[in-house]
Structure 1
Amino acid sequence: MRRVLILGGTAWLGRELARVLVRDGDHVTCLARGIAGPPAEGAVLVAVDRAQPGAYAAVRGEEWDEVIELSWNVQHVTDALAALAPGAAHWTLISSCSVYASDAEVGQTEAAALMEPGPDPDIEDYAVAKVICERVSEAALGGRLLTVRAGLIVGPGDPSDRFGYWVSRFGLTGDGAVLTPTLAGRHVQVIDVRDLAAWTVGAGRRGTTGVVNAVGEIHAFGEVVAQARSIAGHTGPVLEAAPGWLVEQGVAYWAGPRSLPLWLPESFGGFFRRSNATLLAAGGELRDIRGTLEDTLDDERARGLGRDRRSGLTRPDEVELLTALVSTG
């Protein structure tokens, strides 16, 4: 039986990783505060605040077949490496495609240039922090490290409310109008949390090392919207608005309140079109995006289609924008 330590493990991706590991017969320990929720059934929780002195005392000095690090807090990552790297046969760092210096080029591989933190880095900046975490991990672990640069993670339980916005909105409106940005020329590239967890666990078991872009297949934004509409049974009109008009109305790109999720400026043309060749060559398996959309709609319905969301337009705001759009001709 392998002994696996997850640094984190009680939030969304971490819990899915723990679930897969336990299912496969591993002994799993999650070191976390535990405030995001309970660990997966069968996993052991060591409840600690990683910012406190002695946070790793309960697990330091033990031999681990695998350590999985989820944090982007530079101090947490650095302290964990100092305490645990000597006893880890293999280490997986969950990083992000946000580390890349440019989002403009299509087909970027793992060899693309990274953002440069500079001499006085802002470690509160997610991308900067992830770059530093990668570098300190490589320095401490060398050939024992797998760096997983995840793209946009989606699927049931997604706490960000980004991907689920579209299928949820079509499910909510029925025969009402839905507002989208101009869809032509834009793309979506996501990875289902279940596929990411399954591959990451398998890669750790195989001792895979190096850097891997964990991203899904590339889809036209219009295709994803059309599939979401079909799955939700939406029969109303879909009205596209030009980017400039949306910005003038205070609609944000990408995520957050009063946004149209997954919509990005044209200058980000490569963000959703990175190469996943390394992932596929390393055994990555990706489910069809329609299945992810179907499961996401089931999850959205269970949570409430009309609930307050972290990302997207409220329905009243959307109706107001639609009225203004129609009035402009």
Structure 2
Amino acid sequence: MREICVIGGNRYFGKRLIKRLLDTGDRVTVINRGSSTPPETVVHLIADRDDEDSLRAALGSRTFDVVFDQVCYTPRQAEIARRVFAGRTRRFVMTSTVEVYEYEHSTALVREEAVDPLTVQVDLHAPWDDAEFRDAHYGEGKRQAEAVLARDPAFPFVSVRVAHVLGGDDDFTGRVDHYARRIRAGEPIAVPAENHPATYVYVEEIADFLAWTAGQEFTGPVNANAYGTLTTDDICAAIEHEVGGTAEFLPVEVGATSPFSFARSYAMDNSRAAELGYTFLHSSEWLRDAVAETLGFGKEVR
């Protein structure tokens, strides 16, 4: 029986990850601030992950085979996690994001080496505690968090760079609903004048992939995304299939655009995952089901 710790992440694909670990027979410990209660079969520790003393006190002498950090957004949080979990785990898996590639302007599928954490500059003194600053620098915060964890050669670190996630009747982002409301009402959907495709991942599959990493030995960054890029048109076509109506797009040169429209490419290459032994699905295999689940027209597959 493996001892596995999950920091935060008790909703959306985090709760699915916990279920998969429990189904495998792992003993799971969840650490959060107490705002959400995990399943009764897990060990629940209440701590503020931003407070090193609080985290250490909650953990006591516990050690783990694997730690999943679902809520590491800043280099400061990464620094605390690295100090606290050094020597406590053989494997530390951070949920990162496609947004780490925000400076890599390319129309080609981007590979992990495009952002080497060892070359990323870290600024621990930036106002990371300010929520507005943190939200505005989401991708940079994740980049720097990866850099902090990667620079300790004795720390067994993995960063799973997750594509934009679709699916589930518990999708709290409101992004799919944004399009559905406008399509139903016949309202225009703002997109960049040059609207780029992106890679996505199904909510059930990212939970599968994270659970799979628990039993692996590789370290470093790995892209987690389906085969096949999607455009705003593709997603809206799937929504049209559920709600009726026709999407009307309004190209804009400057100003706010809709959630799944991008002025630059966010398309990742998942060949490292395949080389390591995990093959993702193609987006065409789950897109309609994912949209139906989110809009309440279907049931989750798992």
Among 183, 187, 209, which residue is 2:197 paired with? 187
TM-score between the two structures when normalised by the length of structure 1: 0.75
Consecutive unaligned residues in structure 1, runs of 5 or more: 254-259, 303-329
Q: Distance in 2 between matches of 1:45 and 1:59?
A: 10
The one-letter code matched in structure 2 to 1:162 is R
Higher mean alpha-carbon deviation, 87-96 vs 50-59, is at 50-59
Larger radius of gyration: 1
Does residue 214 of the first structure (1) align with residue 248 of the second (2)? no
Name 1:59's counterpart in structure 2. 59
Q: What fraction of aligned residue pairs are identical, expressed as a percent? A: 19
Consecutive unaligned residues in structure 2, runs of 5 or more: 129-133, 298-302
Relative to structure 1, the CA distance from residue 168 to residue 298 in structure 2 (aligned partners, 3 Å threshold; closer, same or farther) is farther
Name 2:114's counterpart in structure 1. 112
Question: In 1, are the aligned partners of 2:73 and 2:141 still within 8 Å (CA)?
Answer: yes
Question: In 1, are the aligned partners of 2:3 and 2:66 still within 8 Å (CA)?
Answer: yes
Name 2:44's counterpart in structure 1. 45
1:16 shift after superposition: 2.0
Question: In 1, are the aligned partners of 2:4 and 2:29 still within 8 Å (CA)?
Answer: yes
SS in 1 for 2:6: strand
1:29 shift after superposition: 0.4
Q: Distance in 1 between matches of 2:115 and 2:91?
A: 26
Relative to structure 1, the CA distance from residue 240 to residue 288 in structure 2 (aligned partners, 3 Å threshold; closer, same or farther) is closer
Among 213, 220, 234, which residue is 1:223 paired with? 234
Does residue 241 of the first structure (1) align with residue 254 of the second (2)? no
1:187-217 deviation line (CA, Å, top 9, x unaligned): 2321122211111111121223221111223
SS in 1 for 2:172: coil
Does residue 24 of the first structure (1) align with residue 24 of the second (2)? yes
Relative to structure 1, the CA distance from residue 141 to residue 60 in structure 2 (aligned partners, 3 Å threshold; closer, same or farther) is farther
1:161 shift after superposition: 1.5
1:28-59 deviation line (CA, Å, top 9, x unaligned): 00111131x32145222111222333322232
Name 1:257's counterpart in structure 2. none
Question: In 2, are the aligned partners of 1:9 and 1:31 still within 8 Å (CA)?
Answer: no
Runs of 4+ in 1 over 6 A off after TM superposition: none
Question: In 2, are the aligned partners of 1:7 and 1:68 still within 8 Å (CA)?
Answer: yes
TM-score between the two structures when normalised by the length of structure 2: 0.81
1:162 shift after superposition: 1.7
Name 1:81's counterpart in structure 2. 82
Relative to structure 1, the CA distance from residue 97 to residue 89 in structure 2 (aligned partners, 3 Å threshold; closer, same or farther) is same
Name 1:317's counterpart in structure 2. none
1:119-171 deviation line (CA, Å, top 9, x unaligned): 6655433222212211221123557221111121222122222244335654x
1:60 shift after superposition: 4.1
Among 139, 148, 162, which residue is 1:136 paired with? 148
Does residue 196 of the first structure (1) align with residue 195 of the second (2)? no
Name 1:300's counterpart in structure 2. 295
Name 2:171's counterpart in structure 1. 158
Name 1:68's counterpart in structure 2. 68
Question: In 2, are the aligned partners of 1:167 and 1:293 still within 8 Å (CA)?
Answer: no
Count of matched residue positions in the alignment of Structure 1 and Structure 2: 280
1:10 shift after superposition: 1.9
